Amino acid sequence: MPDGNKYDVPVDLIALHRAEYYAKHDTGKSSGPEFDKAIKQEFDYAMKNADEIMDWAPNNMNWSDVSEHAKKVAKPLSPEDFQEGWLNGDKEII
């Protein structure tokens, strides 16, 4: 993220979002056995294809679609990280 934080977003959330879109598009329905079958096929396909997930999320979803499920990743910082930040980090006088 712009502030340097990283977040884990469940892949199945993205795969389901994609599967619902394609299932509706392919079947013209939003429920029923044909729709459910299409959801499963699309979900399974996305879960096996990282490129699909990496493409779908930023191009078809908003932060608001994932924010409730996103978990901030705490990365322990080392003295080297602080040195790098001190040397090359953004600075301003306030």
pLDDT tens per residue, range 33-88:
999 999 999 999 999 999 999 999 999 999 999 999 999 987 777 788 888 888 88
Domain membership of residue 2 (yes or no) is no
Rounded to whole angstroms, how far apart are CA atoms 20 and 61? 13
Domain membership of residue 42 (yes or no) is yes
Rounded to whole angstroms, how far apart are CA atoms 43 and 22? 10
With residue 7 as reference, give the H or E element that holds it. Answer: strand 6-8
Query: At 59, is the secondary structure helix, strand, or coil?
Result: helix
Domain extent, residue 46, equals 7-88
Report yes or no on whether pTM surpasses 0.75.
yes
Overall domain count for the chain: 1
Domain membership of residue 78 (yes or no) is yes
Domain membership of residue 14 (yes or no) is yes
Q: Supply 13's token pair.
A: 């959330």
Rounded to whole angstroms, how far apart are CA atoms 45 and 26? 15
Domain membership of residue 82 (yes or no) is yes
